[in-house]
């Protein structure tokens, strides 16, 4: 495993997130503090409604916090505009979702290279080469040109892992990545995540309800009532 | 944005039945647009030709001459009946040097200087009163499309050539090559030979008109230097008033638009043109609504994908681009198919000569094909902007369903 660097990858301080306004306002994150070091593979646990997904979305720059400090790779992201956040997300963050993971009209390879192609405006030969390597890494070299809709659930998640790795991100956020898979496929995906974490040194934050998944991570964070406990 | 184009194309190609229906809808609307343009244009031509025959869009004539009033002695009273309209027999003296200037004026398609007068056409015992028009041999078809109406012979007027209508030829038992004599009111005569016989379907033109070389007309009517009038065809029929005003302002000559003499026809054509415009607008509105609603549905259906793309680092501009491009592609393809359909269907329907009874007076040349394709593309692109904006503003978190 790659040893963690001294400087943290992510730092959250006093982070709050409130949905709605006035009497209907609901505070989901209540002054949350979090430090995430590089190269770690951490499980994020918590009951439904505890703020797990909200935290993951804020870390993925898909959702804006209401207040607090949010620093990643030394860059203050709180209050950054949409273009800055989109570019930052593209370069430094990868996602693996539980549902709706792949673009259905694209092949496995096209899905994998999407993050690079959308930034460069073209599907370069270099991107295709890396995409093919990543598909090989996730054991799907023989499914390169298969439409996403022709892949099984487990294969889709492995393609999603490959896509998350495409731009060599510093952080991969996985929200219930095995929640929709049978136990064999789920274990395959977890094995893959472990390999990537160890080989590439990529930081993983894996949101899960499953204790068996959490047990395979090297660390765990639990969120309750909007705070890390 | 080559990659954006690819994504837009892939979206359209992934649901061929929906895209196909949309493109067919656009193509039908474009076909209606082209059909209406060709029909209204052809109908206008037919009405103009049937009602006024070979008429000019603007006519420049000699001004009315002030007739001299008798001098009176100091103890005499004078009662005068004044004839109102008598044109100078010598015609427009100053017009010829101005012809190149008139030809260059914007809106003027072609000019035809003419010498006109009354005469009798004589063939043996048969005599008919005719209106004679002397035209330049190279501009015979400038005002009346004789090339479309020619039944026999040729349009050559050089020398002793004479062009007459079919009714007149039948009345006088004339055919191409028949020798005739033309005697003018001034008492001048010319021996001519029928070179061509036309049939325009306009009574006056076919029954009592004769066309000769302008040089022949000069000697027949004793007008050695001037012209009786200059007739103009314009690029746009409906610009006649403006062009006439420009000619008067530029040359000082008296220019009369056709609308001044055929007000009812003008109003009829205007109403017809406006009706066509309304129908064409409806066709365009149909395209806009069709494309907008279809893309709205697509946007809704693809919300999770849009969310995924945004999460992978696609900017709002990229999302906007792929949906606007889809509208543009649908507009272009639908426009091209509709235009091709229009060309294929309307070309055989366009009468080659005279419009027969029961036949639609379609003129495929007035189909506004370029305009139809252009407006469709613009309309479809504009129609795509609203759904595209909605797509670009989709909240990725909500779309991914977390």
A83 vs B contacts (CB less than 8 Å) = 315
- Min Cα separation B334/chain A (Å): 23
Do A163 and B312 count as a contact with CB atoms less than 8 A apart? yes
What's the pLDDT at B170?
93
What's the pLDDT at B87?
46
Do the domain assignments include residue A86? yes
B10 vs A contacts (CB less than 8 Å) = 105-106
A105 has a chain B CB within 8 A of its CB: yes
Q: B156: which 2 tokens?
A: 């050559």
Taking the C-alpha atoms of residue B123 and residue B172, their distance in angstroms, rounded to an integer, is 7
A100 vs B contacts (CB less than 8 Å) = 304-305, 307-308, 400-401
| Cβ atoms < 10 Å from Cβ of B252 | 11
Do the domain assignments include residue A195? yes
Among A17-21, A138-142, A205-209, B89-93, the range scoring the smallest mean pLDDT is B89-93
* Side-chain half-sphere CA neighbours of A220 within 13 A: 14
Counted domains in chain A = 1
- Min Cα separation B299/chain A (Å): 14
Instruction: Assess whether pLDDT exceeds 90 at residue A151.
Output: yes
Contact at 8 Å (CB) between B46 and B351? no
Query: In angstroms, what CA-CA distances link B290 with B299, B371, B376?
Result: 14, 19, 12
Q: What percent of chain A lies above the pLDDT cut of 90? A: 60
- Min Cα separation B18/chain A (Å): 15
Residue corresponding to tokens 């460069």: A120
B306 vs A contacts (CB less than 8 Å) = none
N-term to C-term CA, chain B: 30
Which residue range forms the structural domain that includes residue A27? 8-100+169-228
Closest Cα in chain B to A169: B312
Q: Which of A57, A90, A121 has the CB atom closest to B402's CB atom?
A: A57
**Domain locations in chain B as residue ranges:** 2-51+266-400, 58-67+84-261
Closest Cα in chain A to B310: A86
A105 vs B contacts (CB less than 8 Å) = 10-11, 13-14
Q: Where are the alpha helices (DSSP H) in B15-71?
A: 16-52
Contact at 8 Å (CB) between B59 and B230? yes
Q: Which of B305, B318, B397 has the CB atom closest to A118's CB atom?
A: B318
Taking the C-alpha atoms of residue A187 and residue A210, their distance in angstroms, rounded to an integer, is 12
Query: How far out from the chain centre does Cα B149 lie?
Result: 18
Taking the C-alpha atoms of residue A51 and residue B4, their distance in angstroms, rounded to an integer, is 35
Do the domain assignments include residue A144? no
What's the pLDDT at B71?
63
A176 has a chain B CB within 8 A of its CB: no
- Parallel, antiparallel or unpaired: strands B126-135 and B209-213: parallel
What's the pLDDT at A106?
94
| Cβ atoms < 10 Å from Cβ of B104 | 9
Instruction: Assess whether pLDDT exceeds 90 at residue A13.
Output: yes
Q: A179: which 2 tokens?
A: 């929640």
Instruction: Assess whether pLDDT exceeds 60 at residue A199.
Output: yes
Predicted ipTM? 0.90
Taking the C-alpha atoms of residue B402 and residue B397, their distance in angstroms, rounded to an integer, is 6
**What's the CATH code of the domain at A197?**
3.40.50.300
Which chain B residues have any C-beta within 8 angstroms of a chain A C-beta?
1-4, 6, 10-11, 13-14, 304-305, 307-316, 318, 396-397, 400-402
Taking the C-alpha atoms of residue B279 and residue B73, their distance in angstroms, rounded to an integer, is 70
Q: Which of the two residues, A47 and B67, has the higher pLDDT score?
A: A47
A80 has a chain B CB within 8 A of its CB: no
Local mean pLDDT, 10-residue blocks, chain B (402 residues): 92 91 92 91 78 76 60 68 50 77 88 92 92 91 85 89 94 93 89 93 87 92 88 86 89 86 81 86 88 87 90 94 93 94 90 74 88 91 91 88 58
Q: B291: which 2 tokens?
A: 């494309």
| DSSP character string of B286-298 | HHHHHHHHHHHHH
Do A100 and B307 count as a contact with CB atoms less than 8 A apart? yes
Taking the C-alpha atoms of residue B111 and residue B253, their distance in angstroms, rounded to an integer, is 14
Query: How far out from the chain centre does Cα B211 lie?
Result: 24
Q: Average per-residue pLDDT in chain A?
A: 89
Helix (H, G, I), strand (E, B) or coil at B169: helix
CA dihedral B231, B233, B239, B242 (to 10 degrees): -30
């Amino acid at each position: 495993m790659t040893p963690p660097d001294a400087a943290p990858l992510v730092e959250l301080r006093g982070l709050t997130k409130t949905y709605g306004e006035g009497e209907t306002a609901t505070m989901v994150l209540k002054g949350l503090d979090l430090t995430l070091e590089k190269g770690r593979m951490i499980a994020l646990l918590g009951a439904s409604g505890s703020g797990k997904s909200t935290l993951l979305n804020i870390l993925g720059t898909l959702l804006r916090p209401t207040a607090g400090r949010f620093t990643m790779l030394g860059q203050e992201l709180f209050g950054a505009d949409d273009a800055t956040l989109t570019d930052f997300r593209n370069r430094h963050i990868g996602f693996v979702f539980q549902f709706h993971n792949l673009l259905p009209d694209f092949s496995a390879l096209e899905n994998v290279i999407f993050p690079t192609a959308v930034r460069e405006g073209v599907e370069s030969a270099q991107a295709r080469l890396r995409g093919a390597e990543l598909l090989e890494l996730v054991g799907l070299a023989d499914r390169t040109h298969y439409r996403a809709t022709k892949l099984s659930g487990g294969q889709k998640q492995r393609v999603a892992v490959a896509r998350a790795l495409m731009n060599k991100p510093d952080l991969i956020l996985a929200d219930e990545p095995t929640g929709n898979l049978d136990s064999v496929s789920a274990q395959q995906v977890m094995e893959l995540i472990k390999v990537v974490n160890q080989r590439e040194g990529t930081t993983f934050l894996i949101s899960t309800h499953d204790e068996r998944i959490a047990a395979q991570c090297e660390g765990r964070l639990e969120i309750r009532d909007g705070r890390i406990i | 944005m080559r990659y954006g184009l690819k994504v837009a194309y892939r979206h359209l190609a992934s649901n061929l039945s929906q895209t196909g229906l949309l493109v067919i809808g656009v193509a039908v609307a474009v076909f209606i647009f082209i059909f209406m343009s060709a029909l209204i244009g052809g109908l206008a031509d037919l009405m103009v030709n049937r009602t006024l025959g070979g008429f000019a869009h603007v006519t420049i004539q000699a001004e009315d001459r002030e007739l001299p009033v008798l001098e009176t002695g100091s103890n005499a009273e004078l009662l005068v009946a004044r004839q109102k309209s008598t044109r100078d027999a010598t015609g427009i003296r100053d017009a010829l040097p101005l012809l190149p200037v008139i030809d260059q004026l914007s809106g003027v398609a072609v000019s035809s200087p003419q010498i006109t007068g009354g005469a009798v056409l004589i063939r043996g015992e048969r005599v008919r009163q005719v209106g004679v028009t002397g035209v330049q041999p190279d501009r015979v078809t400038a005002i009346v499309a004789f090339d479309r109406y020619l039944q026999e012979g040729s349009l050559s007027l050089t020398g002793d050539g004479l062009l007459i209508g079919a009714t007149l030829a039948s009345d006088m038992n004339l055919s191409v090559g028949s020798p005739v004599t033309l005697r003018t009111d001034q008492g001048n005569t010319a021996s001519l030979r029928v070179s061509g016989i036309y049939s325009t379907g306009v009574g006056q033109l076919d029954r009592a008109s004769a066309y000769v070389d302008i040089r022949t007309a000069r000697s027949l009517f004793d007008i050695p230097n001037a012209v009786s009038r200059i007739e103009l065809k314009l690029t746009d029929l409906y610009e006649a008033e403006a062009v006439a005003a420009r000619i008067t302002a530029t040359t000082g000559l008296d220019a009369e638009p056709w609308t001044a003499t055929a007000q009812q026809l003008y109003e009829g054509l205007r109403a017809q043109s406006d009706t066509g415009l309304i129908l064409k607008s409806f066709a365009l509105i149909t395209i806009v609504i069709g494309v907008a609603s279809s893309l709205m549905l697509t946007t809704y259906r693809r919300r999770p994908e849009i969310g995924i793309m945004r999460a992978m680092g696609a900017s709002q501009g990229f999302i906007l681009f792929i949906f606007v491009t889809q509208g543009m592609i649908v507009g272009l393809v639908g426009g091209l198919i509709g235009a091709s359909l229009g060309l294929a269907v309307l070309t055989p329907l366009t009468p080659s000569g005279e419009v027969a009874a029961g036949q639609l007076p379609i003129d495929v040349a007035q189909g506004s094909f370029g305009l139809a394709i252009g407006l469709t593309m613009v309309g479809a692109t504009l129609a795509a902007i609203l759904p595209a904006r909605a797509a670009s503003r989709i909240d990725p978190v909500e779309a991914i369903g977390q």
